[in-house]
Structure 1
Amino acid sequence: MTNQDPPPGDDQNRPDDLPPGRPPSEMGPPLPPPPPDAVPPSTGGAAPPPGGVPPMGGYGAPPPGAQPPPPPPGTPTGPGGQPDIGAGFSWAWAKFQANAAPLVVSTLIIGALAVVAYLIVYLPLLAIVGGGGSEISVDPVTGEITGFSAGPGFFVTTLVSAIGLFALFIVIQGVGSNLVRMSLKIADGEEVAVGDLFTFPRGGSTFVTAILLALGTAVGYLLCFLPGIVFAWGAAFTFAFFYDKGLAPVDAIKASFTLFKDNLGPAILTVLLGGLVASAGVLLCFVGVIVSAPIAQLFIVHQYRSMTGGRITA
């Protein structure tokens, strides 16, 4: 045996390892097939984890006992729960201070629209209905009303004025709903501007929702007043669902009633306290409304997000 010859039985040799002229039959017995879990040789790098090599481009399964990273602050953490009244007002006050300029100006614009509706439509309507076109006299003995004449012109004028008042109310409520949308944006950690008051991402559906709310409340008031209060309170979260969840007008009203029914105590407190805070500004010659109304709306949005498990940015 020469130095060039491989040792007998060397099963690591391949045919191309043999010197020239050495037939393959002279090499050792054939190699057995590799086991199923065998790992191909590599030129370097760390050894693969037990259980084989992950697919190309993947990272494999996380190690046992690994926990997912916690969600960032302000993101939803699960289903809704009991809202905190104190935390709601504290959050509303802090967010009002941080966004005072756009909220105050927006509230002033909404108030101006309400004043225009009162001066241009509501007062003339009261004068028409109260005057009746002639002097009214009542017999003190029989109680008979005399001297009242209401021709077709009176009823037409009254109807037109009432329709105008209703239309202005719809416009005010549609524009005012953007105060809800602005409060939702603040809860999402976004910036707001006065221009948001005149932006309608849902288009005509915004005013359809306002019409349905106005009709439901009006019909409820005609039915002995109490049903109107029930409807107004049950539908208090309609625009929150409308903008936050993108629901259709009727579905948003249904969702509001469902939330109110499932969270009766907290919902009643939310609407009651929100209304009291908003009305408190009226006591200061209406000037305080520019502060109390936005704070009340922010508070309601905070409680709504708390009950639905939505995002509330600190």
Structure 2
Amino acid sequence: MSEPPSVPPTGGPEPSNQSYPPPQPGYGPGYPPPPHPGYGYPPSQPAPGQYPPGQYPTGQYAAGPPPGSPYPPNDPTKLDFGKAFSWSWDRFRDNLWPMLLPGILMFVAVLVFGGLMIPAGIWAFSNLETTTDAYGYSTTTGSVNAGGLLLMVLLGILLTIALIYLYMAVYAGSIRTVNGEPVTNRTFLTTIRFWPLLGTMILVGIVVTIGLILCIIPGLIAMVLLQFAPFFVVDRKMGPIAAMSASSQLVRQRVGDSVLVFIAIYGINYLGQALLYIGSIFTMPFTALLHAYSYRRMSGAPIAYDTAVQPGWPTTPPGAAPQYGAQYPPNPPYPPQNPPQQYGPGSYGPPS
């Protein structure tokens, strides 16, 4: 009995009592080799902002390509200094007058209160008389005028309060700007959460002062670690201690970017102060915008007028007025928790 042919007959109908299996994939021409177990293609991801409600990308493909991929990783919290400066300059240029108001008022306050403190000081110490004897020793006699001294102290307190208030208003204005709210004359003149922010600034000042007394270096480290604390108070509704802790944690996650931001901001402000303090009128709002942008970028939160957002977050629409502290989780890192409700294609907000 002969063996069945190894290939189908070349002519005539195929015998009904014989079947020939197709060539196995990967073992014949025109067939790709089978994928190795564990090296399949990654699951496809929907476009940013189009994830199903309550679902966001997770796993290795959410943060970027897998290790060893020829494509660079997509880290939404990495700070691009060129983009940060460009964004800050565009916002400053487009809203020049409202952003210059706090600096102008600070300069006027220094002139007025400082000018009044000079005659108050003269009045306070006008009764003092200094005499020098034949041997060159000086002796001061007389009494300090209590009324003049009290006036001088009062003027100093009022000046300090005015400067602190305006400085806090600049923090609030920068957060309003990164939220995409319309910039008006009130934007950089009104504060958000005045007392918690004041308490935070006092605590930060105490910690930094103690650090500077301890050989300066600890003070500089504290300034870097706590630089974002006011933003956490204004933007996340945190208390002073929680905001200082959150700032320290964020800086430790982004040490290099945080140090560069600190150097850039203090360097620019120093140049403004070197120009008879008049330059601070311009540098203070610009550096506040740069600081707020850096804080939002490194924490992974959305930024108005900026396209480099964290996956799942749409760009904050201009004109929005969010409730501060309601958008983001309380501690870094800040992945989105609940996607904004989308009422129409590409729009975020109730239908008009």
TM-score, normalization by structure 2: 0.55
Cα drift, residue 102 of structure 1: 0.8
Q: Which moved more, 1:299-308 or 1:288-297?
A: 288-297
Assess if the C-alpha contact under 8 Å between 1:176 and 1:197 holds in 2. no
- CA 1:88–1:201: 2 relative to 1, 3 Å: closer
**2:293 aligned with 1:297:** no
Cα drift, residue 282 of structure 1: 3.7
**Code of the aligned partner of 1:270:** V
Assess if the C-alpha contact under 8 Å between 1:136 and 1:148 holds in 2. yes
Bigger fraction of residues in helix: 1
**2:249 aligned with 1:254:** no
Structure 1: gaps (5+ residues): 1-64
Aligned equivalent of 1:107? 103
How many pairs does the alignment contain?
241
Q: What RMSD in Å do the two structures reach over aligned CA positions?
A: 3.9
CA distance in 2, matches of 1:126, 1:307: 51
CA distance in 2, matches of 1:66, 1:133: 84
**2:205 aligned with 1:209:** no
Question: Following superposition of structure 1 onto structure 2, how do residues 1-314 of structure 1 map, counting pairs within 5 Å?
Answer: 68-71=46-49, 81-121=77-117, 133-135=128-130, 147-148=139-140, 165=156, 168-223=159-214, 225-313=216-304, 314=306
Cα drift, residue 123 of structure 1: 9.2
SS of 1:135's equivalent in the other structure is: strand
TM-score, normalization by structure 1: 0.61
**Code of the aligned partner of 1:86:** G
Pick 1 or 2: higher relative contact order, CA cutoff 8 A, min separation 6: 1
- CA 1:154–1:266: 2 relative to 1, 3 Å: farther
Cα drift, residue 228 of structure 1: 4.1
**Percent of aligned pairs with the same residue?**
21
Cα drift, residue 298 of structure 1: 1.1
**Code of the aligned partner of 1:93:** W
- CA 1:71–1:113: 2 relative to 1, 3 Å: farther
CA distance in 2, matches of 1:96, 1:254: 30
CA distance in 1, matches of 2:252, 2:132: 50
CA distance in 2, matches of 1:137, 1:110: 42
Q: Return the index of the structure with the highest Cα Rg.
A: 1
**Code of the aligned partner of 2:94:** A
Aligned equivalent of 2:337? none
Assess if the C-alpha contact under 8 Å between 1:132 and 1:150 holds in 2. yes
Structure 2: gaps (5+ residues): 1-42, 51-61, 64-74, 307-352
